[in-house]
């Protein structure tokens, strides 16, 4: 950091710096593309991408595709990550079950989930279910691994304290296991949401009628390069939005984290 | 209430065979007595507290409590070395935790918890989280969390071990003050001989592993005790006497691998 800069100035830089650098990069891109220094075939100028994006939005189809993708990601995420949290809490608290299931997780987790798509298409057909199941499968493992780790890293002192005050199994679960594992559970949720989006788009690229993945794929097949970029832009915006919402949610469910950071020690 | 420990022993199954942690611990307390326990590291002091609290089962021997109050009051509460406050609960919820576990209704437990929070001057921090507190404030909360359930027996496991010496003095005095208002049997484990003398009616000096009681040392200091009150000359002698007992134990325990 610039030690010499006055505090207001460095604050301004932190706030506007990212926008500034984005504008510089876009302007450079525009310039290079317009002058032909880079091929507008592959890198059309941002302004023409923006025009195409605007037209797509006005036509309304893009919003429908966006809505379809969002619905698939959320359904897959809730299904996969939800089941994973439940199973993870049980695996984390029960050493016996944990020992039984750990090898399965270790074996199945590294499999690239997109490779399972053909099998999922066979089992669940080419309808909505297959996309949702793939996203659920992808969401499941990061969430499961984080939840199990989250429970196991809870310092034993908290169990002893709760035990010494006569906490029963249910109270122990609600007041110690769940909040104690929450930091890693929420970190898992962020990874899972990202994987769910990635797999949904991937499935849409090859096996869907609608959705952002299909928008991008169709644009490529018809060689409308601006539309490819427009689809990519909306997709990355969606990813950022998911991350932002989860970040807000994390702060809301773990107020102590934030307070501890800003606390007057 | 009185507590009687009869020939308590605890043997752990270690990786290299059985490991005797405590051996033949026998002592009893008078009503409202403050017992200090000093001994070298690893002599099973914490284990002893856990046996008395019923958190662990002794290998042999037993703990008898007579005159325990009826009703929903817990028989004992424990104060831990690093306060053990739940980071995800506010100060008030932490203090009310014991009450909640004993089924006290929400409004009542919050009222009772707040009363204690006010009493130790932490009113402004009632809705803070433990991460915002200093170590000394945290241990204050840890202590009132135990007092608020008003158990007849309080078990304290080196509660001031992590504090600087000045904070430690303040909290010792505060503990004595609250204890004066809510008298109960206290069993207080510490490394600090001065602290044990300042607080206790009687000190149990323990040997290194396996922990046995080497000697019981009564402390003939009047109550209420304050820091400023002059101590009679014999206190100095008691200190050196206890150190004399401990020194050899400590030296030996340095050579015993954990």
pLDDT tens digits, A222-257 = 999 999 999 999 999 999 999 999 999 999 999 998
Contact list in B for residue A263 (CB cut-off 8 A) is: 128-129, 131-132
User: For the purposes of burial, counting CB atoms within 10 Å of the CB of B230, is it exposed (0-12), middle (13-18) or buried (19 or more)?
Assistant: exposed
Q: Which residues contact A35 (CB under 8 A, 6 or more apart)?
A: none
Does the pLDDT value for residue A258 go beyond 80?
Answer: no
N- to C-terminal Cα separation, chain B? 36
Nearest residue of chain B to residue A155 (CA atoms): B84
d(Cα A97, Cα A46) in Å, to the nearest integer?
54
Identify the band that residue A4 occupies on the pLDDT scale cut at 50, 70 and 90. Answer: low
Question: Looking at residue A263, what is its pLDDT?
Answer: 44
| Contact indicator for A63, A56 with CB cutoff of 8 Å | no
Report the share of chain B in percent with pLDDT over 90. 57
d(Cα B40, Cα B22) in Å, to the nearest integer?
13
Site from B97, B131, B161 to mutate, A interface, most A CB atoms within 10 angstroms: B131
Q: Provide the 8-state DSSP code for A176.
A: I
List residues of B whose CB lies inside 8 A of any A CB. 53, 55, 74, 76-78, 80, 82, 84, 86-89, 97-98, 100-102, 128-132, 134, 149
Q: Provide the 8-state DSSP code for A154.
A: S
**Chain B nearest C-alpha distance from A147 (Å):** 17
Mean pLDDT of A65-87: 97
Greatest C-alpha distance within chain B: 54
Q: Which residues contact A154 (CB under 8 A, 6 or more apart)?
A: A176, A177, A180, A181
Nearest-10 Cα torsion for B248, B251, B252, B257: 160
Does the pLDDT value for residue A3 go beyond 70?
Answer: no
Tens digits of residue pLDDT in A39-53? 988 999 999 999 999
Nearest residue of chain A to residue B74 (CA atoms): A165
| Contact indicator for A61, A242 with CB cutoff of 8 Å | no
| Contact indicator for A156, A95 with CB cutoff of 8 Å | no
d(Cα A50, Cα A56) in Å, to the nearest integer?
10
**Interface contact flag, A165 B97, Cβ < 8 Å:** yes
Q: Which of B155, B151, B144, B136 is nearest to B93 (CA)?
A: B144
Cβ neighbours around B128 below 10 Å, total: 20
d(Cα B7, Cα B63) in Å, to the nearest integer?
9
d(Cα B29, Cα B37) in Å, to the nearest integer?
13
Q: Reduced to 3 states, what is the DSSP secondary structure of residue A56?
A: helix
d(Cα B250, Cα B43) in Å, to the nearest integer?
10
Q: Which residues contact B188 (CB under 8 A, 6 or more apart)?
A: B34, B35, B36, B37, B156, B159, B196, B199, B200
Tens digits of residue pLDDT in A141-168? 999 999 999 999 999 999 999 998 989 8
Contact list in A for residue B82 (CB cut-off 8 A) is: 157
> Which stretches of chain B drop beneath a pLDDT of 50?
257-258
Contact list in B for residue A252 (CB cut-off 8 A) is: none
**Interface contact flag, B77 A164, Cβ < 8 Å:** yes
User: For the purposes of burial, counting CB atoms within 10 Å of the CB of B204, is it exposed (0-12), middle (13-18) or buried (19 or more)?
Assistant: buried
Please report how the helices A61-93 and A95-108 are oriented relative to each other, as an axis angle in degrees rounded to 10. 140
Q: Provide the 8-state DSSP code for B132.
A: G
Question: Looking at residue A2, what is its pLDDT?
Answer: 47
Nearest to A263 among B76, B89, B131 (CB): B131
Question: Looking at residue A10, what is its pLDDT?
Answer: 66
Q: Which residues contact B208 (CB under 8 A, 6 or more apart)?
A: B39, B40, B42, B43, B249, B250, B252, B253, B256
| Contact indicator for B34, B203 with CB cutoff of 8 Å | no
Site from B87, B93, B126, B159 to mutate, A interface, most A CB atoms within 10 angstroms: B87
Buried b (16+ CB within 10 A) or exposed e, A149-167: bbbeebeeebbbbbbbbbb
d(Cα A228, Cα A155) in Å, to the nearest integer?
49
> What average pLDDT does chain B have?
89
**Interface contact flag, A179 B88, Cβ < 8 Å:** yes
Nearest to B84 among A158, A180, A263 (CB): A158
Question: Looking at residue A1, what is its pLDDT?
Answer: 43
ipTM of predicted complex: 0.87
Tell me the C-alpha to C-alpha distance, in Å, between residue B215 and each of B20, B184, B187, B212, B220. Answer: 20, 23, 16, 9, 16
**Interface contact flag, B131 A175, Cβ < 8 Å:** no
| Contact indicator for B184, B16 with CB cutoff of 8 Å | no
Pairing mode, strands B60-66 and B202-206: unpaired
């Amino acid at each position: 950091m610039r030690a010499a800069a006055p505090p207001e100035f460095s604050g301004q830089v932190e706030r506007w710096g990212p926008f500034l650098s984005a504008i510089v990069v876009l302007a450079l891109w525009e310039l290079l593309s317009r002058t032909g220094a880079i091929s507008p075939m592959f890198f059309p100028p941002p302004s023409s991408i923006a025009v195409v994006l605007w037209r797509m939005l006005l036509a309304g189809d893009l919003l429908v595709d966006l809505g379809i993708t969002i619905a698939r990601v959320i359904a897959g995420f809730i299904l996969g990550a939800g089941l994973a949290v439940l199973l993870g809490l049980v695996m984390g608290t029960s050493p016996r079950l944990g020992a039984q299931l750990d090898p399965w997780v270790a074996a199945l987790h590294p499999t690239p989930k997109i490779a399972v798509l053909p099998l999922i298409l066979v089992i669940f057909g080419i309808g909505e279910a297959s996309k949702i199941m793939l996203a659920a499968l992808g969401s499941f493992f990061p969430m499961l691994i984080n939840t199990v780790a989250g429970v196991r890293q809870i310092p034993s002192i908290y169990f002893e304290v709760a035990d010494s005050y006569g906490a029963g199994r249910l109270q122990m679960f609600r007041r110690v296991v769940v909040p104690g594992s929450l930091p890693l559970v929420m970190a898992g949720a962020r990874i899972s949401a990202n994987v769910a989006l990635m797999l949904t788009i991937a499935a849409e690229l090859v096996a869907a009628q609608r959705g952002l993945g299909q928008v991008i794929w169709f644009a490529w097949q018809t060689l409308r390069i601006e539309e490819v970029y427009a689809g990519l832009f909306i997709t990355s915006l969606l990813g950022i939005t998911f991350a932002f919402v989860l970040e807000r949610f994390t702060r809301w469910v773990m107020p102590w984290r934030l307070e501890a950071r800003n606390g007057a020690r | 209430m009185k507590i009687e420990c009869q020939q308590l022993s605890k043997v752990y199954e270690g990786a290299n065979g059985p490991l005797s942690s405590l051996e033949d611990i026998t002592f009893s307390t008078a009503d409202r007595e403050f017992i200090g326990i000093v001994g070298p590291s690893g002599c099973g002091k914490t284990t002893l507290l856990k046996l008395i609290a019923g958190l662990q089962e002794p290998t042999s021997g037993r703990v008898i409590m007579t005159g325990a109050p009826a009703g929903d009051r817990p028989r004992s509460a424990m104060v831990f070395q690093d306060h053990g406050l739940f980071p995800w609960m506010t100060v008030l919820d932490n203090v009310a935790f014991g009450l909640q576990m004993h089924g006290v209704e929400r409004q009542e437990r919050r009222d009772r918890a707040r009363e204690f929070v006010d009493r130790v001057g932490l009113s402004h921090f009632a809705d803070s989280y433990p991460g915002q507190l200093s170590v000394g404030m945290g241990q204050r909360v840890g202590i009132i969390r135990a007092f608020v359930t008003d158990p007849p027996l309080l078990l304290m496991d080196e509660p001031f071990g992590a504090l600087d010496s000045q904070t430690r003095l303040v909290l010792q005095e505060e503990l004595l003050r609250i204890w004066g208002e809510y008298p109960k049997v206290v069993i207080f484990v510490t490394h600090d001989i001065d602290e044990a003398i300042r607080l206790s009616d009687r000190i149990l000096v323990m040997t290194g592993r396996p922990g046995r009681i080497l000697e019981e040392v009564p402390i003939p200091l009047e109550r209420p005790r304050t820091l400023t009150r002059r101590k009679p000359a014999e206190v100095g002698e008691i200190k050196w006497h206890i150190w004399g007992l401990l020194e050899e134990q400590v030296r030996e325990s340095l050579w015993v691998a954990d």
